[in-house]
């Protein structure tokens, strides 16, 4: 049984966690997998390659959450989208072709979002540098090139080396890389927890839709307050 009256989001409302999910909440098995909190999405300048204005809202919150997790002994893994110069690794990716194609049919302010895509995560630039705090003991995985944190990275190897199988997903974007990573993790039998208030997506509606899909088919959808309350109770 959980140590607290743990709440999860199910169909848009917070309900008590049903029995049988103790392993999803096990502090000793948990890892924070934080996606793409880097300058390529979060820089406030007009030339930001793939701006995520909603993502900028949670930078300080993510830093505080990560600090709380470190104090509890939960490893923090920063996943960073990085491409070599020349853009040859990114330009033919499915997500980029689809996004550019769709955005080209939308109003001008949306079309402008793709203007600098070629600089997204560019190696050696601020577009591939973490915006959140990277502290001693954290792990940085900077070989992500697609919309899942597993493809082209050693995330699975790291998780196994740590001996942990509970993946708490934070970062951006809820309805893109977070969602795809959750599905990939679920297919590998990781226990997935979406920490919804530590993520942001394209819009509140898109975030809610992604959270709904994860909660129905992949893992638990909760928030940082519920998770930390449970973990602190376990620690004490």
Please determine, for residue 106, whether its predicted confidence score (pLDDT) is greater than 60: no
Q: Is residue 15 part of a domain?
A: yes
Buried residues in 42-77 as b, exposed as e (16+ CB within 10 A): bbeeeebbbbbebbbebeeebeebbeebbeeebbbb
* 231 inside domain: yes
Nearest to 70 by CA among 4, 150, 136: 136
Give the helix/strand (H/E) hosting 30: strand 30-35
213 belongs to a structural domain: yes
Closest CA to 80 of 30, 149, 152, 158: 149
Asked if residue 81 is part of any domain, the answer here is yes
pTM of the model: 0.90
Q: What is the pLDDT of residues 41-85, one digit of tens each?
A: 999 998 888 889 999 999 999 999 999 999 999 999 999 998 877
Report how far residue 2's alpha carbon sits from residue 44's, in angstroms, rounded to the nearest whole number: 41
Predicted pLDDT at 46 = 87
In a domain, 66, yes or no: yes
User: In this structure, what CATH number is given to the domain that contains residue 51?
Assistant: 3.40.50.850
Is residue 198 situated within a structural domain?
A: yes
Taking only the tens place, the pLDDT of each residue in 165-197 is 999 999 999 999 999 999 999 999 999 999 999
Give the 3-state secondary structure of residue 85. Answer: coil
Cα–Cα distance measured from residue 53 to residue 163, given in angstroms and rounded to the nearest whole number? 35
| The total number of structural domains that make up the chain | 1
Element (H, E) at 170: strand 166-172
Instruction: Scan for tokens 């033919």, then name that residue.
Output: 92
Q: What is the dihedral of CA 144, 107, 200, 155, to 10 degrees?
A: -10
2: in domain? no
pLDDT single digits (tens) 192-224: 999 999 999 989 999 999 999 999 999 999 999
Mean pLDDT of the chain: 90
Residue 114, pLDDT above cutoff 60:
no
Residue 111 has pLDDT above 70, yes or no: no
Could you tell me the CA-to-CA distances from 122 to 86, 87, 119, 138 in Å, in that order?
9, 8, 5, 22
- Position 1 in a domain: no
Give me the domain span that covers residue 103: 7-235
């Amino acid at each position: 049984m959980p140590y607290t009256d743990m709440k999860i989001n199910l169909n848009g409302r917070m309900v008590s966690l049903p029995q049988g999910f103790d392993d999803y909440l096990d502090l000793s098995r948990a890892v924070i997998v934080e996606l793409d909190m880097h300058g390529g999405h979060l820089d406030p300048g007009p030339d930001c390659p793939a701006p995520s204005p909603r993502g900028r809202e949670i930078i300080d919150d993510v830093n505080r959450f990560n600090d709380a997790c470190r104090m509890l002994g939960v490893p923090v893994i920063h996943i960073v989208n990085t491409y070599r110069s020349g853009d040859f690794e990114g330009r033919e990716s499915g997500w980029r072709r689809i996004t550019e194609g769709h955005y080209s049919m939308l109003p001008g302010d949306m079309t402008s979002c793709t203007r600098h895509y070629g600089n997204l995560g560019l190696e050696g630039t601020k577009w591939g540098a973490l915006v959140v705090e990277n502290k001693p003991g954290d792990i940085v995985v900077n070989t992500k090139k697609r919309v899942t944190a597993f493809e082209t990275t050693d995330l699975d190897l790291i998780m196994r080396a740590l001996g942990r199988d509970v993946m708490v997903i934070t970062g951006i974007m809820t309805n893109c890389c977070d969602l795809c990573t959750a599905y990939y993790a679920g297919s590998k039998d990781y226990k997935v927890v979406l920490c919804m208030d530590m993520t942001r997506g394209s819009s509140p509606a898109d975030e809610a839709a992604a959270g709904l899909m994860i909660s129905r088919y992949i893992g638990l959808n909760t928030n940082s307050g519920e998770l930390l309350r449970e973990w602190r109770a376990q620690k004490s």
